[in-house]
Amino acid sequence: MNEVAEVNRFLVLYPEQSRRANLMKCWNWFEPKHQARDTGEPSILAAIVEQISATHTVNRDRVYVVGASAGGAMASILAATYPDLFAAVGVLAGAEFKAATSIFEGLAAMKRGGPDPIRQGQLAFEAMRHGLAHKRRRRMPAIVFHGTADSKVSPLHADQVIAQWTQTNERLAAENSEKGFALTEKVTTGQIPEGYAYQKHIYVEADGRPLMEKWLVQGLGHAWSGSPRPSKYGDPKGPNASQAIWRFFCEAGSNPPASLSSQ
């Protein structure tokens, strides 16, 4: 994100996990104590965001959460448990909210997908209630990236994350007494020169406002798409996920209803 942040003048916070908490330095997204507000890793990450917001000039209405792999699963948890902090979520090669509740379920979910995303979408909405009491939220925009050749986390998760947040946003619409919530899916294709082809799915509300995006990158493994340099978890041959995510966040937050934003 550094290059995109330098051009667009925004702050990026990179929290790091300790090996004492997880041997792989991953977030423990699969444990119930790390899936709720005011407890475990979500509370630590939220506190870090609050600290940065208090010590830097930050627009509190434009704070977003993005993660890859275990970080993607944790991003889903943070968006659900702290909707008063985060205005949108990005999930790269990650999972839906509470995709597992033990390490064994987590390992299985990585290969076969998580539980019913409709049910998880309801659970995510219920988890939002405490945060929504502090700050009302019309929607939780979501953008998803996943490689079709990902052998660590099944590409099925891309569909599940979208389905989960569709259900959660439908419940948010009902909570705000909105009728007729519906999304239209638009699909475009592209090709990175000397790189991968991709499909971009855009989910648009009835008023024409984009709510979610899903990018499926053909041939991309378990890696950040469009990274500046090749690495174990970065592949420059895909579309630039960092640029796409920032553009999506700007579009998703460009016209929030003032009546649904409390001070």
DSSP conformation letters of 170-207 = HHHHHHTT-----EEEEEEEEE-TTS-EEEEEEEEETT
Greatest C-alpha distance within the chain: 49
DSSP 8-state class, residue 92: E
The highest-level CATH class for domain 2-253 is alpha beta
Q: Indicate the residue type of 79.
A: A
Kindly report the pTM of this predicted structure.
Answer: 0.94
- How much is the pLDDT for 163? 98
- How much is the pLDDT for 259? 38
Q: Indicate the residue type of 61.
A: D
- How much is the pLDDT for 252? 85
> In a structure prediction context, what are the per-residue pLDDT tens digits for the chain, which is 263 residues long?
999 999 999 999 999 999 999 999 999 999 999 999 999 999 999 999 999 999 999 999 999 999 999 999 999 999 999 999 999 999 999 999 999 999 999 999 999 999 999 999 999 999 999 999 999 999 999 999 999 999 999 999 999 999 999 999 999 999 999 988 999 999 999 999 999 999 999 999 998 999 999 999 999 999 999 999 999 999 999 999 999 999 999 998 654 443 333 32
> Token pair 């053909």 is at which residue?
218
Question: Sign of the CA dihedral 78, 84, 85, 90?
Answer: positive
Closest CA relative to residue 212, chosen from 128, 90, 97, 102 = 90
How far apart CA 214 and CA 187 sit, in angstroms, is 9
Tell me how far the alpha carbon of residue 79 is from its chain's centroid. 7
How far apart CA 21 and CA 105 sit, in angstroms, is 19
How far apart CA 175 and CA 188 sit, in angstroms, is 32
Task: Name the token pair of 175.
Answer: 């909570």
Report in angstroms the alpha-carbon separations of 71 from 115, 118, 178, 183. Answer: 19, 22, 32, 27
- How much is the pLDDT for 254? 57
CA 86-91-94 angle, to 5 degrees, is: 130
Closest CA relative to residue 66, chosen from 255, 236, 244, 222 = 244
How far apart CA 89 and CA 65 sit, in angstroms, is 5
Tell me how far the alpha carbon of residue 101 is from its chain's centroid. 19
